[in-house]
Structure 1
Amino acid sequence: MIFAIRMLLLLLLLQLPGMVPQVHTVVCSGTNPVDITHEWYEGGDLVIGGIASLIRYMSPNLSFKTHPSQVFIDIPVVITKYYQHIVALVFAVDEINENPKILPNATLGFHIYDNYFDSRMTYQTTLDLLFKSHHFVPNYICGIQKNVVGVIGGLSSDTSSSMADVLGLYKIPQISYGSFQQAMNDHIKFSSFYRMVPNEGLQYQGIIQLLLYFGWKWVGLITPDNEAGERFLQTIESMLFKNQICSAFTETMEYHVHININMLDMLGDAVHFSKLIRGAFITSKANAVVIYGESRSIPWLLNAAKIVTVTQLILPQYIKLPEGKVWITTAQINFILDMFQKGFDYNLQMFYGAISFAIHSKETHSFQDFLQHLHSFLKRISFNNSAGDEITLNEYGELAAGFDITNLVTFRNKSYVRVKVGKLDPQSPPGKELTINAERIKWHSGFTQEPPLSLCNANCRPGYGKRKKEGEKFCCYDCDPCPHEMFSNEKEMEICVRCPAGQYPNDDQDQCISKTPNFLGFDETLAIVSTFSALLFSLITILVLGIFIKHRDTAIVKANNRSLTYILLLCLLLCFLCSLMFIGTPKEATCLLRQTSFGIVFSVALSSILAKTISVVLAFMATKPGSTIRRWVGKKLAYSIVLSGSIVQVGICVFWLATSPPFPDVDMHSMTEEIIFLCNEGSVLMFYCVLGYMGFLASVSFTVSFLARKLPDSFNEAKFITFSMLVFCSVWLSFVPTYLSTKGKYMVAVEIFSILASSSGLLGCIFFPKCYIIVVRPELNNREQLIRRKI
């Protein structure tokens, strides 16, 4: 019965178009399926051998609940996808034989065996290919004499390895078209082994670059439960970590596939598989899932889809595979993709939008150039195939080429198309191997965003930085707003950063804005008011000076030393004008002069006031009988006080300019949104020494004038000087804390106000009463009134 079923399958194969001209089924002794050998043979002067994987014997999931005689022992299944591999070989052989320029005076034949997806059976079929004996004897050729010049196969790494163990002994070249396993890179052990696929490590790099391209940082991994799957996990996990990508879950699937005849057993497998997969998906937010496995180690995917599809008819509300995922598959799965279309009603829609690596290919019209050389025929390592591609093998005997990136688009009629959406080119610069045309990708309809996200949590928006969640993988984090004066202008920035010099973050802290210059320009209201005030007070000072010069011979002008009065008025005029140097963009000349000139001029003014006050005191003391102070009274003493009081300040300013002079500077940090253009004082200590010395002169003047305020003199200035010094000291005492608490142009405005206020206080308190008498009450401005009031 079993043999009849197998023969029926073979007859079905014979009816397929383009089948091999001669097919032989050799039945050997015994009833075990491995004793039945399917072979495809066509003679020739030179013979190409082939080990194919076409028929798979699938065993039921046996249990002790059922008698062994009640279940089938084996069920053969023909994988029609792999039949295409056989047809391709036959086509190539026919093309070579039809072209006399390739193999003149010789014909090429082939002899193909099926190893039934069994690596142990591969040893028998390989020896049988070489020696053709039903009871084979190594090194003895029995049967048809043939000259095997090379062997094509196998599809999986274990099949290729088994073939290489035999063929390597006889130095017969072996061409593999589906073995990616890196263990085959041992060129010393497998010196006759060549493979028409790129190195598997390139796929790993492509997977990482694909995840980075779409920003998928939270991915699932599904591998077969075997040595190859374990090796893949060890390699890819370290690469994920280096690129800041986390594995959301890792599932290993059973290597073998069983056929469940009993419906209850099938239902149980479906429930188990559904719980396993759905549990991994539901507990994570991973929308990207990487599936790894060789062609013979991924049938669990086929079986799972079949089981779930069938059992969904019974329990549709429970048995369901998750949809709306991006399945990322390696190139190996492409060898079995057509299996999803044949034999069962598979749920192909769940793989809609899958992205897969595929061996680079073009539509090939012939294999003429490809087979010109399959060991002695591989003297050249580089040749062109009929599709126009250059085929180059590297030092390990593997194809030195890249991969195509394909997108799986499925249809409800169980058909599908694979759309090429990019490529993986190993010849490109590091990090640039992957190129993707994302606009051509069709995503699963379950996604609300294209391209979909696959993250542990939502991306941190611009203006936010990451904060790690304790006890979770580094891909899981919270998003915190950027600290003050910091920004982030991209998604997923690890930390917020400061803006470049001269810029500041906007309100959303997602970009930087150029800071505006901050200085007291002439066009600003503060500058206009200050300029107008300075010029107004300057005109008043000139007017007062003119009045005093015009009435220089009157008693009130002569009474308190005209020369000191003129000096004081000139100093006050210069003080008002000095304030104008604080307005406008700071320049080198204004920075050097404005503080020093103001300090010197103000010190001369204060020294003049001190000289006037001391002159009043000495003049009163000199009027007493027998006083020896009379000889000190006079202009020389006054000039000496002015000179000595000013020379100290001049010395301080000269030392300041010589050691650490002021200079134009910018302050980019004191104010968030503005760049302060300022005069750097050079030495803050020297600046406060200038202010301190002026304070010292003002304090001495205030003390002396306060003590002399009640002296009996009709034109006694002491009481007016007392008030002026009181105003002066009040202004400059409040100046220091106000000056230190402001920034930018407002700091300059505070100093201008202090200069104008203190200077106008001196002008008003000292000279307004005198001008009132000179202009309004001239009758009081005479010697007789002076003598009368003294009496």
Structure 2
Amino acid sequence: MIFAIKEINADPYILPNITLGYRIYDSCVVVPQGIDAIHWLVTGHDQMDLSYSCSNHTRLAAVITDGVLSTSFLLGVYSYPQINYFTKTQSLNKKREFPSFFTILPSVMSQGLGLARLVKFFSWTWVGILADDDDYGQGISTVFVQEAKALGICIEFIERIPIPYSEDLVRHIVENIKASTVKVIAVFSWEANLYPVMKEIERQDITGKVWIGSEGWSNSRVMSTNETFKILTGTVGFTIHIREMPVFIKYLLSLHPSKAPQDQFLRQFWEQEFKCKLPETNSSSHSVEETLYCKGNEEVAMMNNIFLDITNLRFTYNTYNAIYAVAYALHNLSTCKPGKGPFEGGSCASIKDFHAQQVNRKFKDGEDIYFDENGNLPSIYDIVNWQLTTEGDIQYVKVGISPPPISSFCNTFPLCSHFQRPISICTTSCLPGSRKAPIRGRPVCCFDCIPCSDGEISNETDATSCLRCPDDHWSNKRRNACIPKVVEFLSYEEPLGTTLASLSVLTSTVPSLILCVFMWHGDTPIVKANNRQLSYVLLCALTLCPLCSLIFIGKPSPASCLLRQTTFGIIFTLSVSCVLAKTIIVVIAFKASKPGSKLHKWVGSKLPNTIIFFTTLIQVGICSVWLLCAPPFPETNMKAQVGKIILECNEGSTLALWCMMGYMGILASISFLVAFLARKLPDSFNETKYITFSMLLFVSVWLSFVPAYLSTRGKYMVAVEIFAILSSSTGLLGCFFFPKCYIILIKPEKNTREFIMRKRSSSANREL
């Protein structure tokens, strides 16, 4: 304070021709003594009567105070400007109640906001709070909690440091801290209140915590010099902003009692520091050797005292700024021009006779040092980190300023390293491919990680929801990216398609060869016995039936979708019609061979041709109506099978499909029934036995086909139908023609009219 006033008085540009005076009183942080000091300053008398002033000099301009509520209230009653350099409470921030109170300290609100953002910068989302149970601690704590919640930070606990000290309460607080899972604890306290709590923390050996400190203790020499408090290494905190003051360093080093014999503060300090007694003074030193006098060659530079640590004199720097704030206010008051003044009618105040309210007004109008509407300076804090030196001491390393952006200090801040930065979270982050699910009754920072469902992804850490993939994409195995769905259809290139196509061609070749054999041996009795032309038609139909399955293989197209079911239905109906015609002809031929039978006229090619034509024509009609009303078409099915796009044929009308299949089933059932009833005909006409067995096989295949077809999807549905086509075709071929081929090729001696007639006679006798 003295240095600042001397500097101002020597400055020709600030308050020229005006000298600032001062009075200094030590409150010793004792409220009654502070109130007495205020009485002396205001009245010049030691009586508690503020109705008059005994001073005959210029009235008091301002008071630089430590911000104690009682003294600030006393000064506020009479509107004396007071500038606080030490502490700030929320109560004094109410300008309506304390319009004359100003502070060099930034507001509590800005500190709470800044500390919350500092925590967010390090991605700490799970923290605890330890705060003084007073206006200071609770004020910062409230702002911190509000900002923390807005930034997605969760608070596990909020503990209040008891004022005054309570051993039981402190032990309870420390036990809660020990039981907590947080790695980061924000502390809003003054060192005197925090010290016993830290002692108990050290006693219970609680380590592995990062402490976030408010300016009330972030540069505490009491705790950093105590060996038990090395647990605080790594502490990050806000401190009062300070700038370099090189002139002040020279001033400190030049101090000596001989240069200021009336300075009682310096005399007391000198005697206590050097443990000697200055001559001709009533020393207040408590030196053991009362006869030890100072030699006079003692110097400030010889001291080992925090007094010389100018990097830590933050409240000293506040005092310096407070003095200049008063000086600029008075300077503006003295340079006011009548008619342009800030008071009523543009008037100005006299520098020799002014009121306290007039000085208050000028504080707000200052340009070099100014206060906001709440009486606060702009909120600037230094960010310090407690780092361990090679000697084992704690040093405060300034790593940044808040604001500007906190990220600017990472070059000198060990905690910016990803290898050293501690992690303080309630739940480990959810990796891409999962989402956060809140846990009932727990803070939002505590959650479960739920894997995304099929078809959904999350491509960022701690996603709150999963994103659904587009219809033509699907989630990969990790659920962190959408990949194109697999396009599926039964192609010729894949093994299944190649196998079925080969079987189809092979199955089609066999009836072709049998047709050649029958045509080569067309005049033999075994071929002529049961309507040679009808056998040729049936063999042609059985040659085409397997080839129908080739239309089912390959990428569905409009043409293949139109032809596959209808072609299959018509050709198979033709085959079954031939079987039905054969069955009816066999029965009629046997009945017509009896004497006096009237069925002889139906024997011949006319009846079977008519049966084949009309039964096949009905199926052609069903298929034609189907194609005209609701034709099949190619379709891209994205929902039938997980993760696949199925290229298939939409049948257009399911009713038409089952009508076609049902009609074919009716023909097969009629053939089976007729053949079964005629199964005991003579051996020469015993094709009915083969027809019965073939129709039983045919019906069984297609009855088993229906549930298999309905229960499969994609290419396997097509494969099931192809298998049914090949199985039923092979069954018909084998039952009808393999026995005849056996006689023609292996047993030609049985392929004679005599053998057939002899067999017929023996069969007739058995019938009689």
TM-score by length of 2: 0.68
1:208-243 deviation digits (Å, cap 9, x = unpaired) = 555555554543321112245445556655666677
SS at match of 1:710: coil
Residue number in structure 2 paired with 1:292: 188
Residue number in structure 1 paired with 2:386: 408
Are 2:578 and 1:608 equivalent residues in the alignment? yes
Greater shift, 698-707 or 736-745, is seen at: 736-745
Aligned partner letter, 1:145: H
Residue number in structure 2 paired with 1:337: 220
Match of 1:582 among 552, 574, 585: 552
On the 8 A contact 1:405/1:424 being kept in 2, the answer is: no
Percent identity of paired positions between Structure 1 and Structure 2: 36
Distance 2:372 2:659 in 1: 81
Distance 1:216 1:539 in 2: 77
Are 2:328 and 1:349 equivalent residues in the alignment? no
Distance 1:373 1:699 in 2: 115
Distance 2:72 2:561 in 1: 85
Q: CA 1:580 to 1:230, structure 2 compared with 1: closer, same or farther past 3 Å?
A: same
Residue number in structure 2 paired with 1:651: 622
Residue number in structure 1 paired with 2:733: 763
Match of 1:281 among 154, 159, 177: 177
1:325-354 deviation digits (Å, cap 9, x = unpaired) = 1111234434x534545xx74644121111
On the 8 A contact 2:436/2:462 being kept in 1, the answer is: yes
SS at match of 2:734: helix
How many corresponding residue pairs? 654
Q: CA 1:769 to 1:291, structure 2 compared with 1: closer, same or farther past 3 Å?
A: same
Q: CA deviation at 1:250?
A: 3.3
Residue number in structure 2 paired with 1:721: 691
Residue number in structure 2 paired with 1:324: 208
Aligned partner letter, 1:663: P
Q: CA deviation at 1:728?
A: 1.9
Aligned partner letter, 1:350: I
Distance 1:165 1:238 in 2: 31
Distance 2:53 2:95 in 1: 28
Residue number in structure 1 paired with 2:129: 221
Residue number in structure 2 paired with 1:702: 672
On the 8 A contact 1:619/1:633 being kept in 2, the answer is: no
On the 8 A contact 2:455/2:474 being kept in 1, the answer is: no
Residue number in structure 1 paired with 2:162: 254
Q: CA deviation at 1:291?
A: 0.8
Residue number in structure 2 paired with 1:442: 414
Q: Cα RMSD between the aligned structures? A: 5.1
Q: CA 1:415 to 1:716, structure 2 compared with 1: closer, same or farther past 3 Å?
A: closer
SS at match of 1:286: coil
Q: CA 1:292 to 1:556, structure 2 compared with 1: closer, same or farther past 3 Å?
A: same
Match of 2:495 among 515, 519, 525: 525
On the 8 A contact 2:490/2:555 being kept in 1, the answer is: yes
Distance 1:630 1:398 in 2: 125
How do 1:686-697 residues align onto structure 2 when only pairs under 5 Å count?
A: 687-697=657-667
1:679-720 deviation digits (Å, cap 9, x = unpaired) = 455665655554444333322222222223333373654333
Residue number in structure 2 paired with 1:417: 396
On the 8 A contact 2:131/2:187 being kept in 1, the answer is: yes
Q: CA 1:450 to 1:784, structure 2 compared with 1: closer, same or farther past 3 Å?
A: same
Are 2:73 and 1:162 equivalent residues in the alignment? yes
**Structure 2 unmatched runs, 5+:** 248-319, 330-359, 762-768
On the 8 A contact 1:219/1:287 being kept in 2, the answer is: yes
Match of 2:718 among 735, 744, 748: 748
Q: CA 1:559 to 1:338, structure 2 compared with 1: closer, same or farther past 3 Å?
A: same
Q: CA deviation at 1:576?
A: 1.8
1:477-497 deviation digits (Å, cap 9, x = unpaired) = 788999999988877678999
SS at match of 1:714: helix
1:106-152 deviation digits (Å, cap 9, x = unpaired) = 56666665554456766665675566554476575543634766665
Q: CA 1:538 to 1:206, structure 2 compared with 1: closer, same or farther past 3 Å?
A: farther
Distance 2:100 2:241 in 1: 24
SS at match of 2:682: coil
Aligned partner letter, 1:219: V
Distance 2:234 2:402 in 1: 17
Q: CA 1:448 to 1:304, structure 2 compared with 1: closer, same or farther past 3 Å?
A: farther
Q: CA 1:584 to 1:221, structure 2 compared with 1: closer, same or farther past 3 Å?
A: same
How do 1:526-675 residues align onto structure 2 when only pairs under 5 Å count?
A: 526-548=496-518, 560-561=530-531, 564-624=534-594, 625-627=596-598, 630=601, 634-635=605-606, 638-645=609-616, 647-648=618-619, 650-651=621-622, 654-655=625-626, 658-659=629-630, 661-667=632-638, 670-671=641-642
Q: CA deviation at 1:735?
A: 2.7
Aligned partner letter, 2:211: W
Residue number in structure 2 paired with 1:87: none
Larger relative strand fraction: 1
On the 8 A contact 1:331/1:356 being kept in 2, the answer is: yes
Q: CA 1:666 to 1:284, structure 2 compared with 1: closer, same or farther past 3 Å?
A: same
Distance 1:164 1:642 in 2: 121
SS at match of 1:643: helix
Aligned partner letter, 2:233: Y
Aligned partner letter, 2:73: S
Distance 1:611 1:373 in 2: 123
Residue number in structure 2 paired with 1:28: none
Greater shift, 494-503 or 655-664, is seen at: 494-503
Distance 1:608 1:402 in 2: 102
Residue number in structure 2 paired with 1:47: none
1:382-434 deviation digits (Å, cap 9, x = unpaired) = x678xxxxx8x665554565656543224455441234268556xxxxxxx86
Q: CA 1:489 to 1:377, structure 2 compared with 1: closer, same or farther past 3 Å?
A: same
Q: CA deviation at 1:733?
A: 2.9
Larger relative helix fraction: 2
Are 2:57 and 1:145 equivalent residues in the alignment? yes
Q: CA deviation at 1:593?
A: 3.8
On the 8 A contact 1:352/1:408 being kept in 2, the answer is: yes
Distance 2:246 2:600 in 1: 129
SS at match of 1:697: helix
On the 8 A contact 1:284/1:456 being kept in 2, the answer is: no
Distance 1:669 1:130 in 2: 91
1:161-186 deviation digits (Å, cap 9, x = unpaired) = 6377347x36x5x6556666555554
TM-score by length of 1: 0.66
On the 8 A contact 2:426/2:446 being kept in 1, the answer is: yes
On the 8 A contact 1:122/1:163 being kept in 2, the answer is: no
Distance 1:649 1:185 in 2: 97
Q: CA deviation at 1:533?
A: 1.1
Q: CA 1:699 to 1:195, structure 2 compared with 1: closer, same or farther past 3 Å?
A: farther
On the 8 A contact 2:622/2:660 being kept in 1, the answer is: no
On the 8 A contact 2:125/2:154 being kept in 1, the answer is: yes
**Structure 1 unmatched runs, 5+:** 1-19, 22-89, 258-268, 313-318, 386-390, 426-432
On the 8 A contact 1:486/1:509 being kept in 2, the answer is: yes
Distance 1:660 1:231 in 2: 78
Q: CA 1:384 to 1:628, structure 2 compared with 1: closer, same or farther past 3 Å?
A: farther
Q: CA 1:339 to 1:593, structure 2 compared with 1: closer, same or farther past 3 Å?
A: farther
How do 1:465-480 residues align onto structure 2 when only pairs under 5 Å count?
A: none
Aligned partner letter, 1:165: G
Aligned partner letter, 1:254: P
Q: CA 1:176 to 1:143, structure 2 compared with 1: closer, same or farther past 3 Å?
A: same
On the 8 A contact 1:348/1:410 being kept in 2, the answer is: no
Task: Point out the structure with max Rg over C-alpha.
Answer: 2
